[in-house]
């Protein structure tokens, strides 16, 4: 009966469904019509009783955040933290790709060989080690 995909119902539909239930229709019949579990309707009723409205979904605008009491400093701190976490995710994705490639090479029987290479010329030469697969 219920579908396994995540669906989002509008606050208007939730209110209409709860009004129909208040008028005498059963939660089971309404749930079958909407293809959801009856417990979800009772959850909507509980949220409406506790909060008086259904929470909005999606991203809040800057004006909404400022109206909610967030200061400009809080928002700037949050933006810096988001940028830091995005950089970290990028580095982790890079590392994951590297180790997947290394694991793939070890599974196929390739052996690693360390080769010493030199970068640059003259007094700025820096020795380094690079790993190559053979």
Report pTM.
0.42
CA distances from 124 to 70, 118, 127, 128 (A): 51, 10, 10, 13
pLDDT, position 88: 94
**What pairs with residue 114 in β-bridges?**
131
DSSP strand pairing (126-133 vs 112-119): antiparallel
pLDDT at 131 over 60: no
* For the chain, percent of residues with pLDDT exceeding 70: 66
pLDDT tens digits, 19-70: 999 999 999 999 999 999 999 999 999 998 988 888 776 666 666 666 667 7
Q: For the stretch 79-99, what's the b/e string if a residue is b when 16 or more beta carbons lie within 10 angstroms of its beta carbon?
A: eeeeeeeeeeeeeeeeeeeee
**Residues written for the chain:** 134
pLDDT at 117 over 50: no
Q: Is 26 left (phi over 0), alpha (psi -120 to 50) or beta?
A: beta
* Mean pLDDT confidence for 74-90: 90
pLDDT at 134 over 70: no
**What tokens appear for 36 in the block?**
């959801």
Helix (H) or strand (E) holding 95: helix 72-107
Report the alpha-carbon distance of residue 5 to residue 7 in Å, rounded: 6
């Amino acid at each position: 009966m219920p579908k396994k995909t995540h669906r989002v119902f509008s606050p208007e539909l939730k209110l209409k469904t709860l009004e129909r239930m208040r008028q005498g229709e059963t939660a089971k019949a309404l749930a079958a019509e909407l293809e959801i579990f009856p417990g979800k309707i009772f959850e909507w009723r509980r949220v409406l009783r506790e909060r008086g409205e259904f929470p909005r979904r999606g991203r809040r605008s800057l004006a909404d955040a400022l109206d909610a009491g967030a200061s400009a400093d809080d928002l700037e701190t949050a933006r810096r933290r988001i940028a830091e976490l995005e950089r970290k995710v990028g580095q982790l994705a890079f590392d994951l790709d590297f180790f997947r490639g290394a694991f793939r090479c070890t599974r196929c029987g390739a052996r690693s060989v360390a080769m010493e290479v030199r970068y640059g010329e003259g007094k700025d030469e820096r020795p380094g080690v690079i790993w190559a697969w053979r």
